[in-house]
Structure 1
Amino acid sequence: NMATAIYLEHYLDSIENLPCELQRNFTLMRELDSRTEEKKGEIDKLAEEYIASVRSLESEQRVEHLQKIQNAYSKCKEYSDDKVQLAMQTYEMVDKHIRRLDADLARFENELKEKLDLSGYESPDARAIKKSGRGLKDKRGPKARGRKGSDDDSPKKKKMKSPDFGDSLLSVQPSDVLDMPVDPNEPTYCLCHQVSYGEMIGCDNPDCPIEWFHFACVDLTTKPKGKWFCPRCTQDRKKK
């Protein structure tokens, strides 16, 4: 419809220059890498020269030679700092567009809901949501902002989750993941109240207030057979 087209057109306009900006930043980062490698080569050469001639050098010459090595190290650090700044800028650049997309989606959904409320029409999706009593959170599962969610993500299907930002994090420790910068808009899960990462499991209690849990937090290493209930729901069921 027209509203969708307008939102889409505006968003596409806003990201039109993003590929060029990303390419520019990545090129600059590669250049900084090359400069750093060259400088490291210089440091190795200077160190070898110093070791070979240190005994024959006067005290002032030694200081001068060591100063050259120190300056080369400082330059290396400067290049590395510049690269880190570029990487942070690049992340922020992409994240800014993601936040805008989230805001646009929220506005669009609200406008759509208002129109449906005014017309008195209730969509099949809305009826399904009311019937299930769980809403979009159940359908999407613990994905950052629900961008890649599907019905397959529901706890009933017992999907093991991997984070939105790549499978490589499956091999790292949870503490490493939690040290990374976190988008304040990203939802949290589990007993630990942290974002989605690694393998996750959904509680089979439809009224579970948390729904999704990291394997390590509930002492799991593999996907259990049959139905699985989180520690809180297991305790509640025992009381009943």
Structure 2
Amino acid sequence: MATAMYLEHYLDSIENLPCELQRNFQLMSDLDQRTEDKKKEIDALASEYIAKVRDYTPEQRVQHLQKIQSAYSKCKEYSDDKVQLAMQTYEMVDKHIRRLDADLARFEADLKEKLEGSEFDSPAGRGVKKNRGQKEKRGSRGRRVSEEDTVKKKKMKGGPVYADSVLSVTPSDVLDMPVDPNEPTYCLCHQVSYGEMIGCDNPDCPIEWFHFACVDLTTKPKGKWFCPRCTQERKK
């Protein structure tokens, strides 16, 4: 019964995922086509400029070069939009994977608690003390996930702010995790997100997020916090 409940809730949560993915992939394909068309336009403008540059007045040369520059800017804009859309698509899928990890952890914890309860109530199991401490389980991607999920916001430059559940793991477990090679890395240690993390308040910080242990923190400090690199830059 519990299995059916977890499965039903998860299937409901991903009901619209295929349509959303198809829409994003179609948009990326359209952006690709626009970029290719704009590149052809740039080639044509460049060829025309080279062929007629001697006959152009200084004003005509400037106007033609401005057309080429404008086409390059539009091409870059399409490329940036495609990159941003790809990152949003990755986050969309990753969010559902994280939820699956958390659901699996809760289901296994519920199942183990029921088994321990039946052992405790049976004659052979009397006197057995239940361990109600925090349990760590392996999720769908081999990560160790905690029953107590925290939430952190991932900042992406030039894009929206995403709220995702952070899987609570210890640093010693990270090296053993089979992690998606495309998953972004953070902090001075260049590892994936895990445990408690803190964001640098410098909007131009190239790293942005740091593990507590790597920056010698045990609790979140009051007020603004800057990473070691940004602190040195501010002092300069």
TM-score class, shorter: 0.5 to 0.7
Look up the match of 1:181: 184
| Residue 145 (1) aligns with residue 142 (2) | yes
| 2-structure distance, mates of 1:3, 1:185 | 28
Write the mapping of 1:52-71 to structure 2, written as runs, cut at 5 A: 52-71=51-70
Moved more, 108-117 or 89-98: 108-117
C-alpha spacing 1:98/1:34, structure 2 compared with 1 (3 Å):
same
Look up the match of 2:73: 74
Look up the match of 1:124: none
**One-letter amino acid of the structure 2 residue matched with residue 181 of structure 1:** P
Residues 44-76 of structure 1 show CA distances to partners (whole Å, capped at 9, x for unaligned) of 000000000111111111000000000000000
Contact 1:43/1:72, CA 8 A, preserved across alignment: yes
**One-letter amino acid of the structure 1 residue matched with residue 184 of structure 2:** P
| 1-structure distance, mates of 2:13, 2:80 | 29
Contact 1:47/1:69, CA 8 A, preserved across alignment: yes
Residues 169-194 of structure 1 show CA distances to partners (whole Å, capped at 9, x for unaligned) of xxxxxxxx5x85145259xxxxxxxx
RMSD: 2.9
Structure with the bigger percentage of helix: 1
Unaligned runs of 5+ in 1: 122-134, 148-162, 166-176, 187-240
Tell me the percent identity: 72
Look up the match of 1:21: 20
| 1-structure distance, mates of 2:2, 2:67 | 63
| 2-structure distance, mates of 1:56, 1:85 | 42
SS at match of 1:145: coil
Look up the match of 1:7: 6
Unaligned runs of 5+ in 2: 121-135, 145-177, 186-191, 196-236
| 2-structure distance, mates of 1:47, 1:63 | 13
TM, length-normalised to structure 1: 0.54
**One-letter amino acid of the structure 1 residue matched with residue 193 of structure 2:** P
SS at match of 1:120: helix
Offset at residue 10 of structure 1 (A): 0.2
Structure with the bigger percentage of strand: 2
Offset at residue 13 of structure 1 (A): 0.4
C-alpha spacing 1:63/1:90, structure 2 compared with 1 (3 Å):
same
Offset at residue 144 of structure 1 (A): 3.9
| 2-structure distance, mates of 1:55, 1:73 | 23
| 2-structure distance, mates of 1:30, 1:9 | 33
Offset at residue 25 of structure 1 (A): 0.2
Look up the match of 1:109: 108
